[in-house]
Amino acid sequence: MRVGVIYGNGIGPEITEATLKVLEATGLPFEWVPVMIGDEAYDRFGHPLPQDAVELLKELKYAIKGPFIVNKMKGRLSCVHKDGSEAIYPSLNNAIRRELNLFVCPRPIRGVPGISGAYEDFDVVVMREITEDVYAAIEHSIGNDAAECVKLTTRKAATRLAEFSFEYARAHGRKKVTCVHKANAISITDGLFLTCFREVAERYPDIESDDVMVDAAAYYLVKDPKRFDIINTSNQYGDILSDLCAGLVGSLGLAPGGNIGTEVAVFEASHGAAPDIAGKGIANPVALILSGAFMLRHMGFVREAQIVEESTRSVLSAGKDLTPDLGGSGTCMGLAGMIARKVKETL
Ligand code: ATP
């Protein structure tokens, strides 16, 4: 039960600590293995993502990850591999995903009774592609007055994503997968993405499928979210729509996620490092706690995963010790402590 732990920065260390506490309450024999990435790694090894850390994560196979602050306009990062090859990434968060060959980020976002108001029945999984699109870091300046960015889309990645979405639907009893794109305006690139989706959909006649333009999807998520079950979408649309979903259910602090590859999986909240509230002890740990539950499910500990999820939802619905983003005056560790107690009681 060795699991990697990447603490991140900003609110990362506090929400990670809170999450480990809740996961330990399940009684499973975890051995947490800290993986040094970020500022500390930069100070010690001269690079925020040393290749040894990548190798360690590949060996561990599972990790919990806190977010990293990405400085605007300074995020780009070059990783030189042991065979001398080089890859450029737009940010450290992106580099971790791609160095580990993680290709899909499912973000299951659910409303919570007593917290999410009109959206308490909200239940949508945003299935975000995470290897290409405009986050492939293929961009450059053209003199001082222009710049361009490539929206990379390949048959391989679009097909792999769609297959994952339909398999996930079958495995989790979901009824429908909706492809979200903008193939009317970006007809070749998003057109290929949609074509691959439709080809895969034909192989899954038991699962309903359709497609919606990304602007309309934003509108329908607010007006009629029940028309969605799983949203299969590209990197940037998935990034934006999952924050929208988090806002609808009440807070970015409620939206979990996982980055899944064929061999390694890293579980992290949808939100960033929230530097505005870092170090105050008031960050909402729920998104990362639910990401931890997602990890348990992925590892095959379905009962423990369910207990963590239900305990979290019941503590939130009770409305005590909520963090300020949910309208309370509680603390990160206070809320995690309540959830950990509930997990132990239920067990
Ligand atoms: P990124 O681009 O990495 O997603 P960002 O700067 O765009 O980062 P976040 O760091 O996610 O955005 O923060 C957006 C807002 O949401 C901030 O006001 C932040 O305080 C709030 N927020 C994010 N996560 C949490 C959390 N866990 N608890 C409370 N508030 C949060």
Q: Do 142 and 206 belong to one domain?
A: yes
> What is the DSSP annotation of 217-246?
HHHHHHH-GGG-SEEEE-HHHHHHHHHHHH
Average pLDDT over residues 7-20: 97
Q: Do 260 and 239 belong to one domain?
A: no
- Percent share of the chain, pLDDT over 90: 97
Atom of ligand 1 nearest to the CA of 69: 3
| Band of pLDDT at residue 154, cut at 50, 70 and 90 | very high
Residue 174 has pLDDT above 90, yes or no: yes
Q: Do 23 and 90 belong to one domain?
A: yes
Average pLDDT over residues 109-113: 97
Q: Which protein residues touch ligand 1 with a CB less than 6 Å away?
A: 11, 67, 70, 252-253, 271-274, 276-277, 283-284, 287, 325
Distance between CA atoms of residues 282 and 47, nearest Å: 30
Residue 238 has pLDDT above 90, yes or no: yes
Q: How confident is the model at residue 72, as a pLDDT?
A: 82
Q: Whose CA is nearest to atom 15 of ligand 1?
A: 274
Expressed in angstroms and rounded, the spacing between residue 2 Cα and the centre of ligand 1 is 29
Residue 334 has pLDDT above 90, yes or no: yes
- Tokens representing residue 320 in the block: 């005590």
Q: Do 122 and 234 belong to one domain?
A: yes
Residue 74 has pLDDT above 90, yes or no: no
Residue where one domain finishes, among candidates 249, 273, 308: 249
Average pLDDT over residues 185-204: 98
Q: How confident is the model at residue 73, as a pLDDT?
A: 82
Expressed in angstroms and rounded, the spacing between residue 64 Cα and the centre of ligand 1 is 18
Atom of ligand 1 nearest to the CA of 93: 3
**Domains identified in the chain, total number:** 2
> Which mutation among 271, 277, 288 tests ligand 1's pocket best, with the greatest number of atoms within 8 A of CB?
271
Distance between CA atoms of residues 44 and 53, nearest Å: 12
The reply to whether 9 falls in a domain is yes
Average pLDDT over residues 109-122: 97
Distance between CA atoms of residues 323 and 281, nearest Å: 9
Expressed in angstroms and rounded, the spacing between residue 241 Cα and the centre of ligand 1 is 15
Residue 232 has pLDDT above 90, yes or no: yes
CA dist 297 → 81, 184, 255, 306 (Å): 32, 38, 16, 8
Per residue, the 3-state secondary structure of 105-150, as one string, reads: EEEEEECCCCCCHHHCCCEEEEEEECCCEHHHCCEEEECCCEEEEC
Q: Do 175 and 137 belong to one domain?
A: yes
Distance between CA atoms of residues 219 and 198, nearest Å: 23
Residue 31 has pLDDT above 90, yes or no: yes
Residue 325 has pLDDT above 90, yes or no: yes
Are residues 255 and 107 in contact, defined by beta-carbon separation less than 8 angstroms? yes
Average pLDDT over residues 99-109: 97
Residue 182 has pLDDT above 90, yes or no: yes
Q: Do 121 and 244 belong to one domain?
A: yes
Q: How confident is the model at residue 75, as a pLDDT?
A: 84
Atom of ligand 1 nearest to the CA of 325: 29
Q: Do 238 and 263 belong to one domain?
A: no
Residue where one domain finishes, among candidates 189, 219, 249: 249
- Tokens representing residue 162 in the block: 């769609």
Q: Do 13 and 90 belong to one domain?
A: yes
Average pLDDT over residues 46-74: 94
Q: How confident is the model at residue 70, as a pLDDT?
A: 83
Q: How confident is the model at residue 71, as a pLDDT?
A: 82
Tokens 């293995």 correspond to what residue? Answer: 33
What is the extent of the structural domain holding 150? Answer: 117-249
Average pLDDT over residues 53-80: 93
Q: How confident is the model at residue 28, as a pLDDT?
A: 98
Atom of ligand 1 nearest to the CA of 271: 11
Q: Do 329 and 270 belong to one domain?
A: yes
Atom of ligand 1 nearest to the CA of 276: 20
> Which mutation among 252, 280, 284, 325 tests ligand 1's pocket best, with the greatest number of atoms within 8 A of CB?
252
Q: What average pLDDT does the chain have?
A: 96
Q: Report the CATH number that the domain containing residue 56 is assigned in CATH.
A: 3.40.718.10
Q: Do 206 and 263 belong to one domain?
A: no
Q: Do 123 and 238 belong to one domain?
A: yes
The reply to whether 332 falls in a domain is yes
The reply to whether 55 falls in a domain is yes
The reply to whether 108 falls in a domain is no
pLDDT in tens, 273-299: 999 999 999 999 999 999 999 999 999
Q: Do 196 and 122 belong to one domain?
A: yes
Residue where one domain finishes, among candidates 221, 249, 277: 249
Residue 26 has pLDDT above 90, yes or no: yes
The reply to whether 153 falls in a domain is yes
Average pLDDT over residues 81-91: 93
| Spacing of C-alpha 292 from chain mean position | 11
pTM of this prediction? 0.95
